[in-house]
Structure formats: structure tokens, C-alpha cells
């Protein structure tokens, strides 16, 4: 008993020492998360329950309104619903298109073709290009007077007169999606290409020996092998779609007649043009809640659908 006493004390001290080092190493990370995530999030929650207005804030005319901002947002006929629907359409179409075209591009680049490394390098240009530059480039391409798209379509006799692509409510969202796909496609392609290159060759050869054709090998061998890559790019694409502001604001500012007004554009208008920070904060929290629930359900579905 007496001999075991010092050993217990030594073990306790050693454990405390390990816990102390653990706290020492983890504390900076927790502090950074607290500063850049939890404090702003708490501030947003507080603002969403007030009538904080940038114009009236200097005079101290801010009052607690509880869930009134959320009630305004979610009421029938609220412009929030149109912005939220636009965001869903924009994000879904963009992510799905990038996944399909990204798979095609990854399969092509996974082959042995001439100038393969050059093609891979050139493919990165849209992705590394700043978003503002991308928007200005497409504004020139789609310009109704001197844009190159109208020039080529007129030369092919596909249109009779210049089309205002970004000013036409029936084509504006399509053009925004086209710009986004052009810019984001390299990311999807490279991620999926990395996944294809780690697919075990033995599995593909075994499937071939069992009589599986190319489509069956792709669906039953390749897709499961790159499952985690698909999960990552889909989640990242969805998050980016819900956060995309620069490209849309630079080209259409949410117009015409709000057909391209997504959630970030709606929040910006309410916060910095209508000066209703509480209302805008509530809209941002609803978007955050939707993304969180979607991410949790999607990850759970991907992990349990084997």
C-alpha cells in the first residue's frame, strides 16, 4: 500500500502534465475559432432579434423585437422566398452541371493523350482567375452591342438581332449559371481526376473479367471508389453557391426584376441599402441553418447508403 502511493501520485502528476500540454496546444485553436466564428455568430443572433438600423443606430434607437424579423422573412409573399428559391435553383443546377462535366473532363484527362500536362495546366486558368475579372470578362462576352457571343451567333444565323443576355429575365439566370460553371469546373475536374487516379486497377480488371461493360464498371466500381470525393465537391459547391455574391453583383446586381437575386444579394440589399441590419441578420441565419441541416443529412445519407 505504502509503495503504491508514490506511484499513484506520479501517475496523477503525469496525467495532469499531459492534460496541461493538451490544453496549451488546443487553446490557440479554440481562441481563434471563438474570435472568428462564435463571436460574430453570437452577434448575428443578437442583431436578428433587434430592429437595428444603420441610420438610427447612432441615436440609440434600437429595440429588442424577438422573432419578429424571422416572422417577416417567412411570411407569405416575402421577397425572401424568391431569393431563397433563386439560390436553390442556381446552386442545384450549377453543382449538378459541374459534377457531370467534371466527370467527363476527369475521365478524358485520366487517359494517355498528347500534351496532357498542358491541358491540365490550361484548365486551371478559369479557377485561379479572380472572380471580378471573370465577371468583367463575361460582361464583355455577353455585351449586346459588341459582345463576341452575339457576333458568332449572328454569323451562324442563329439570331436575327443582338440579345441582351443579362438584361433579359428569361436568360439572365442561365448566363449566371454558365459563368459559374465555367469558373468552378476546373475544381470539380481536378478533384474527380484525383479520385479516378486512386481507383484500384485490380478492381476494374476483376470487373472486366466478370463480364462487366464500361458503363457497369464506371457505375459499380468507379463511382463507389470516388464516393468521398463526390461528397466533398458537392458540399463545397453547395456552400459556395449559397455564398456567391461577387459574380452576381458585378454582372446583374440581382436583376432584372430580381430573377438573379440570390440570398447573398438579398442580404446585402437589406443590410447596406435598406440599412435594416436585424432583418438581414435573420435572413443570414436562416441560410446558415439550411446549409447546416443539409450538410448533416447529406453526409449521413452518403455514409449509410452503401
Q: How is residue 132 written as a grid cell?
A: 471580378
> What's the pLDDT at 16?
54
Angle (deg, nearest 10), helices 116-123 and 172-196: 140
- Do residues 261 and 83 make contact, with C-beta atoms less than 8 angstroms apart? yes
Q: How is residue 149 written as a grid cell?
A: 457571343
Residue 97's closest CA among 175, 219, 182, 171?
Answer: 182
Question: What is the residue-level pLDDT of the chain in tens, covering all 306 positions?
Answer: 455 556 555 555 555 566 666 677 778 888 887 788 888 888 899 999 998 888 876 666 778 888 999 999 999 999 999 999 999 999 999 999 999 999 999 988 888 777 778 887 888 889 999 999 999 999 999 999 888 999 999 888 888 899 999 999 999 999 999 999 999 999 999 999 988 888 877 887 788 887 878 788 888 888 888 888 888 899 999 999 999 999 999 999 998 999 999 999 999 999 999 999 999 999 999 999 999 999 999 888 877 765
> What's the pLDDT at 299?
83
- Do residues 251 and 166 make contact, with C-beta atoms less than 8 angstroms apart? yes
Q: How many domains does the chain have?
A: 2
Residue 128's closest CA among 191, 192, 179, 186?
Answer: 186
> What's the pLDDT at 214?
79
Residue 205 lies in a domain: yes
In this structure, the answer to whether residues 107 and 193 fall within a common structural domain is yes
- Enumerate long-range contacts of 133-141, CB under 8 Å, 24 or more apart: 134/179, 134/182, 134/183, 134/247, 135/179, 135/246, 135/247, 135/250, 135/251, 136/250, 138/175, 138/179, 138/182, 138/251, 139/166, 139/250, 139/251
Looking at residue 144, which CATH number applies to its domain? 1.10.3720.10
CA-based end-to-end distance of the chain: 54
Helix (H, G, I), strand (E, B) or coil at 231: helix
> What's the pLDDT at 11?
57
In this structure, the answer to whether residues 42 and 83 fall within a common structural domain is no
> What's the pLDDT at 17?
64
Q: How is residue 224 written as a grid cell?
A: 463507389
**Residue 63 region by backbone torsions, left for phi larger than 0, else alpha for psi between -120 and 50, else beta:** beta
Residue 66 lies in a domain: no
> What's the pLDDT at 98?
95
**Would you give the DSSP letter of residue 213?**
-
Which residue(s) pair with 178 in the sheet?
none
> What's the pLDDT at 3?
52
- Within 8 A by CB and 6+ apart from 129, the residues are 137, 183
Query: What is the number of other CB atoms lying within 10 angstroms of the CB of residue 83?
Result: 25
Residue 150 lies in a domain: yes
The pTM is what?
A: 0.86
In this structure, the answer to whether residues 93 and 26 fall within a common structural domain is no
Alpha helical stretches, state H, the chain: 4-33, 39-48, 68-74, 79-109, 116-123, 125-128, 131-141, 148-155, 172-196, 201-209, 214-217, 223-225, 227-243, 246-251, 263-268, 277-304
In this structure, the answer to whether residues 43 and 109 fall within a common structural domain is no
Residue 254 lies in a domain: yes
In this structure, the answer to whether residues 144 and 33 fall within a common structural domain is no
99: domain range?
A: 75-304
**Would you give the DSSP letter of residue 57?**
G
Amino acid at each position: 500500500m505504502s509503495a503504491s502511493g508514490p506511484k499513484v501520485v506520479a501517475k496523477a502528476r503525469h496525467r495532469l502534465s499531459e492534460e496541461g500540454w493538451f490544453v496549451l496546444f488546443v487553446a490557440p485553436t479554440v481562441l481563434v475559432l471563438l474570435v472568428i466564428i462564435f463571436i460574430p455568430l453570437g452577434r448575428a443572433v443578437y442583431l436578428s432579434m433587434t430592429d437595428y438600423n444603420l441610420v438610427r443606430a447612432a441615436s440609440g434607437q434600437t429595440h429588442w423585437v424577438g422573432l419578429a424579423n424571422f416572422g417577416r422573412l417567412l411570411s407569405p409573399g416575402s421577397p425572401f422566398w424568391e431569393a431563397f428559391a433563386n439560390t436553390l435553383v442556381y446552386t442545384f443546377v450549377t453543382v449538378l452541371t459541374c459534377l457531370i462535366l467534371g466527370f467527363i473532363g476527369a475521365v478524358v484527362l485520366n487517359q494517355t493523350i498528347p500534351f496532357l500536362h498542358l491541358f491540365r495546366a490550361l484548365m486551371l486558368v478559369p479557377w485561379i482567375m479572380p472572380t471580378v475579372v471573370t465577371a468583367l470578362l463575361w460582361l464583355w462576352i455577353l455585351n449586346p452591342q459588341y459582345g463576341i457571343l452575339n457576333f458568332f451567333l449572328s454569323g451562324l444565323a442563329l439570331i436575327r438581332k443582338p440579345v441582351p443576355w443579362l438584361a433579359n429575365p428569361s436568360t439572365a439566370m442561365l448566363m449566371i449559371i454558365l459563368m459559374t460553371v465555367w469558373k468552378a469546373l476546373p475544381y470539380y475536374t481536378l478533384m474527380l481526376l484525383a479520385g479516378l487516379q486512386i481507383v484500384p486497377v485490380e478492381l476494374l480488371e476483376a470487373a472486366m473479367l466478370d463480364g462487366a461493360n464500361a458503363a457497369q464498371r464506371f457505375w459499380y466500381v468507379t463511382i463507389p471508389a470516388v464516393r468521398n470525393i463526390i461528397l466533398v465537391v458537392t458540399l463545397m459547391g453547395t456552400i459556395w453557391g449559397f455564398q456567391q455574391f461577387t459574380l452576381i453583383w458585378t454582372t446583374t446586381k440581382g436583376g432584372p426584376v430580381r430573377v438573379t437575386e440570390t440570398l447573398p444579394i438579398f442580404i446585402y440589399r437589406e443590410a447596406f441599402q435598406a440599412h435594416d441590419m436585424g432583418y438581414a441578420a435573420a435572413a443570414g441565419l436562416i441560410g446558415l441553418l439550411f446549409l447546416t441541416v443539409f450538410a448533416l443529412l447529406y453526409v449521413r445519407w452518403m455514409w449509410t447508403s452503401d
